[in-house]
């Protein structure tokens, strides 16, 4: 996951919308944000920074300011509730009942029927 910061010259909302649509269409892009005040575009995802800059240079001037790993925030793990032995036993019992039920419902394969054609007179002439 890479974080790419680009300096882009966006002078109106129409160009901004076009730039965001173009960059978000590149495979591997996860998020795009534009700061019109500072004229910076931030792209995160698994994408080549040069490819993004080339796509943007088709309609506005773009320079690559920085490329680096995206900082992922570590979320605290939710506290785990201790499991009681009763819950484990109930789960095991329910699982056994579930397996037994579906074992009974298993369908048998359909029998294959063979058809055999028999002519009334095998010595008869077909061409008449």
Calpha distance 26→47 (Å, rounded): 8
Q: Which residues contact 41 (CB under 8 A, 6 or more apart)?
A: 5, 6, 7, 8, 19, 23, 32, 33, 34, 35, 56, 62
Are the beta carbons of 67 and 50 closer than 8 angstroms?
Answer: no
3-state secondary structure (DSSP) of residue 42: strand
Q: What is the pLDDT of residues 60-117, one digit of tens each?
A: 899 999 999 887 666 676 776 665 667 888 888 888 877 776 666 666 677 777 776 6
| CATH topology assigned to domain 2-69 | Alpha-Beta Plaits (3.30.70)
**pTM score of the predicted model:** 0.55
Region at 119 (left for phi over 0; alpha for psi -120 to 50; beta for the rest): beta
Lowest-pLDDT choice from 14-18, 51-55, 94-98: 94-98
Q: What is the pLDDT of residues 99-115, one digit of tens each?
A: 776 666 666 677 777 77
């Amino acid at each position: 996951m890479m974080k790419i910061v680009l300096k882009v010259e966006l002078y109106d909302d129409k160009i901004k919308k076009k730039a965001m649509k173009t960059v978000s269409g590149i495979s591997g892009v996860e998020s795009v944000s534009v700061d019109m005040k500072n004229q910076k575009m931030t792209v995160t995802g698994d994408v080549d920074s040069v490819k993004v800059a080339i796509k943007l240079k088709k309609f506005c001037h773009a320079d690559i300011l920085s490329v680096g790993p995206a900082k992922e925030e570590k979320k605290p793990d939710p506290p785990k509730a201790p499991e009681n032995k009763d819950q484990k036993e109930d789960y095991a019992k329910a699982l056994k009942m579930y397996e037994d039920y579906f074992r009974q419902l298993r369908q048998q394969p359909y029998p294959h029927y063979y058809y055999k054609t028999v002519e009334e007179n095998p010595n008869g002439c077909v061409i008449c």
